[in-house]
Each structure stands twice: as C-alpha cells, then as structure tokens.
Structure 1
C-alpha cells in the first residue's frame, strides 16, 4: 500500500476524531507482564471453527484451582502486573470458572495483580460471583449474527443471548471490553455492524477489534480474511459512532504479507491502541503526528490504568 492510498480522504475524519481526544497511540506488548492463563489446558468442548483450540496452546496452564494463587504470586514476583484468565468453552459456550472462584478471590486479596477474564456466554449467577470476588475486567467476544453463531460455535444461542450476557457483565464487572472479530463469518462481514449497535447499549471501557486469521489446523484455515479496506471502513464507522471510546486493534489478526496493510488501515481509521505492530506501522503513525507509548498489558485495559496507573 502506497502513501497516497493510506492518506485516502475517506479516513481523515475518523483520524481527526481520534487525535482530538488523544495524540497517543498505545503499543500493547503483553508479554511478560500480562500473561494469559488457561484453566482448561488445551481442551475446549466447542472447538469453534476459527480456533479449534489452537490459541489455547500458546497460554500458560493452571487447571487446578489450588495452584492458581501460587502461580499468580510467582508471576507477580517476576514483575507481572496483571493476568488474563481464559480457557476453552464448555458445551454451553463459556469458560467454566466456578471451581476457581475462591482462588480468584485470594489472588485479588493477596496480590496487586489486575485480573481480567474471558467469560463467554456465562450465566448470570457466575458473573455475579466473579464480580463479587473482585475481577477487574471482562473481555467479551461479541457476535452480531445468528448465522455466524451457528456457523462458528455450533450451539443453540442467539444475538439476544449475547446482549443479555453483555449487559449483565456491564452491571457486575467494573470494566467490560467487547471484542468484535471482523470477518468471522468465513471472511465475510456479517453482523459486525449489529454488534456495534449492541455495544452502544452498555458503557464499555474499551472496544477491541480482531480480524479473522485463518489458522492452520482449523476449519477456516484455507479461507481468505476480510480485506484491509473492509477492516478500516468498519473501524472508521466505530470511531465516528463512539468518538470518546478507546478503540484497539487486538492480537488475533493476520500476520502475513499484508499485515502492515491491516494495521495501517486501523491507524488511519482512528484506533487508540494496537497490539504488537510492525515497525512500518509505527513509522506511519508518527507520520500522522501520533506519539507512541508502550503498554505492557493487554490492549483492553481501562484508561485510568495507563498514564499514572499501573501500566503507563
């Protein structure tokens, strides 16, 4: 992509909206101070079409509740500032945190770690328990198409279920960070704009965009992702729709030959944060007048934890 394409006038307004709220581009580098822990090892009952448990393989594993506290204390002593607790989904579409409730309570009581979770379509009672023990943040994968839910997860759930869980998370957890995967429906955009409407119904801390990354070993491995232009267009719409909401380009996205094209489109569409960008992307950001700062955490942590906070 050449300079003229990147400076396409259609994207200047979203970028100006971004710079009017902040001149900084936060560059997220979670490792090693914000590790991800799977509580299910590499197991997932759903084996979703885009993942099939492949992403679990890159996580630390703590599948015994009694070991979570000691692992978290060790991580903190080694310099960690936070953890993301994740894992594979059960047959109902959520990570089974119930046996870990007391361990998470102790982690929050006996360490200073920021604790975020990847819940899935979790029942209300379990969400309340996690909120009561002090979970700081919920990273929620939001899907805005019933067809995509059926295609990717293969469970009997609907957009309404996603709305209900998201609103409960917003009520019970201090910080809620919706994640929208662009092109999740076999590389096509279907439901992403509906997802943006659902986001407008709550008070999110950050909105994270992912991009379908056809991954070896999954049902979707031979597909094409959405185009960089489609990605930029959707993020630009979000920037104009939510002028004060921090927007981020997250970790799950294509990392091949057109990696910088995706990142460039996100930058000019007005993202505030980006996880592990290329050096070319950082140079482009500076050409746009943005000042880069490092964020040693997941890209969705709340703004109050940045400048003057534990991650700034």
Structure 2
C-alpha cells in the first residue's frame, strides 16, 4: 500500500471512529443482526428459522425496466403471486408454514412504479385476518398509494433512492429524474407510514455517482431506517462483469450517512457481495457503528463481540429495525 493510500485509510479510520462514537451516543452500544428467510442462514451464532419471512413478487418474473444490474433475476428468487387472490393465498400458505411476515415486492412498470395499488385491499386483508407483518418494496410512489398502504396497515415501505439522473436513465432504463424520487420520499413522509430508503452503492457500473446526493435527499425527510446496500454482479445481466465498490468505499458512504443523519438507524442491507468482500465490509460497518447488519458474516459478529456490543438476532426483514429498536428501548429498566 502506497503512502497516499495509507494516509487515506488512516483518515478513514479516524472518520469511522467518529461515526461509531456518534452512533453509540444516540443508540447505545448495541447492534442487531437480521436474517429473514429470503435465503438460508446458519452459523454457530444463529440459525434463522426456515420460512420466517418470505419474499413475494406481485409481478412474478416480469419487470418492464430490465435494469442493468438486475435484469429481473432477483424476481426469480421470489414467490410469484400476480393477482390479489394469489397474494392472499401465498400469505396464507406462508403463515401455515410458520411465517411471521413477508416482503411484498415486484418488478416495475415503465414509469418506475411497482403496481402495488391494485393489491392494497388484499394486503389489508392479510394484515386483518392473518396478522402478518408486511413490508412493501415499491418503486416510485405517489401520495394516494402511500396513503392507502398506510391505511392498509403496512408496517414499512422500502424504496430505492437514486441520486443521479444519468444512472436512472442508463442503468434503470427509466425516463425519470431525481425529482421523482424526492417526490416519492415526500409522499411517504406525509402519509405517516414508516419508510426505509435504500441507497445502492456502486449502482452506476460499480462506481460512485449520486450516492451522496441520494443521502442528502433522504436526510431532508424522516426515514425510519436508512438501508445501505451494495452492487454485486449477477450472472446473465448487463453488469455481470462489473466489479463492486471496495469495502473501504462502502465504509465511506456509511460514515457520511451517519454524519448526515446522526439520529437515524442505519442498516447494512442484505444485497451486497459475499465472501472475503462481505467479511471486510461487515467488519468496517460494525466499526463505523451501524445499527443493523442483514445476513452478517461471522467476522461481523466477532467484531461486535470485540467491541463489547449488546447483540440481538432477528428472523425478519431489516426494514423493521425501527420497530425492534423502539421495543428494545421500552424494555429498558425504568423506561
């Protein structure tokens, strides 16, 4: 490592320490690890219950955008439920198998929205009759749909926020702008529904472009949880040969996010590279004081132990971290 690189990393280490102290000041010395049943998770620290929190696609494998980083491949891992009736049935089956909740997602329409509006009544029925926790992952969303999701009892809305018009056009194949994403944040905030914006680091062909702008957009609102996810190449997509950003780059974004939003819970979400990359990223994230890590590497858990953190494991989606953190606070002695 050259002298300049060493100096840069030394500076990053200092910023990581400042971010960690800021996080601990507001949230205490604790961390939560989440492992929903999107994929299996088992190690010597925790074994996630099978089927606890499945993901469901209301568009099946269909997505009009064919984004460069995904190409609809992620939808293939979800349970298809393309009508309101099929969604209710999928939720009934999940409940019978032990699910406590589900992620309801899907592909986008040409305008960048997920067609969740026609499923709102079904979601309300799932909440009312099955008592499942529901996280809805939407694309661009208007005020009316946000209000209806709130009335249906949705527990959290996850939304990807992009801070570059160029990325929106080139990677998402979407004729929209950052203003449309800002308006979606406004709609969710004014609906009064818990919302958890996601920022995908490296979305622009593995490079940073708009991530800090996205964070600044989000900071103007009141997110329940900020979720940082990381580009990783998926086979048979246009970006399958693109390298993800380095763990140090991801740490920089996490640090900046903390400085911008000191009182907002920050999560390192489930979408990120695996292997050595994940181990390094996770360790830096824990050192930086993130409140939540989804599907943590063993190295992340060890780092939390080294730092003497209070550790909690959960089998649900990390978008629900705001709820769990509130519950933990009420359970404190004297609370």
Match of 1:41, SS state, is coil
Shift of 1:135: 1.8
- Residue aligning to 1:275: 294
Q: Does 1:133 align with 2:167?
A: no
**8 Å contact from structure 2 (residues 282, 299) kept in 1:** no
Deviation of 1:137 after TM superposition, in Å, equals: 1.2
1:1-312 matched pairs, under 5 angstroms: 8-20=13-25, 21-31=27-37, 32-306=51-325, 308=327
Shift of 1:19: 2.2
1:152-211 Cα offsets, whole Å, 9 max, x none, are 111210010100011101122520100000111111111111111111121110000001
2:30·2:311 contact (CA, 8 Å) conserved in 1? yes
| Number of aligned residues | 307
Query: Residues 231 and 273 of structure 2 are in contact (CA less than 8 Å); yes or no, is this contact kept in structure 1?
Result: yes
Question: TM-score, normalized by length of structure 1?
Answer: 0.93
Deviations 1:70-113 (A, max 9, x none): 32233223322211100111111111123312211211211211
Q: What is the deviation of 1:232?
A: 0.3
TM-score w.r.t. structure 2 length?
Answer: 0.86
Q: Secondary structure at the match of 1:167?
A: helix
Deviations 1:204-248 (A, max 9, x none): 100000011111111111011111111101101111222221100
Any gaps of 5 or more consecutive residues in structure 1?
none
SS state of the match for residue 250, structure 2? helix
> How far apart, CA to CA, are the structure 1 residues paired with 2:274 and 2:81?
28
Q: Is the 8 A contact 2:227 2:269 kept in 1?
A: yes
| Mapped partners of 1:88, 1:287: distance in 2 | 41
Question: Could you tell which deviates more after superposition, 121-130 or 244-253?
Answer: 121-130
- In structure 2, distance between residues paired with 1:103 and 1:114: 14
Q: Shift of the alpha carbon at 1:306?
A: 4.7
Which is further off, 296-305 or 109-118?
296-305
How far does residue 302 in structure 1 lie from its aligned partner after superposition? 4.3
Q: C-alpha separation between the residues in 1 aligned to 2:13 and 2:146? A: 43
CA contact (8 A) 2:138 2:157 kept: yes
**Any conservation in 1 of the 2:292–2:321 contact (CA below 8 Å)?**
no
Deviation of 1:64 (Å): 2.2
Q: For residues 228 and 126 of structure 1, what CA distance do their matches in structure 2 show?
A: 37
- In the alignment, structure 2 segments of 5+ residues that lack a partner are 1-8, 38-50
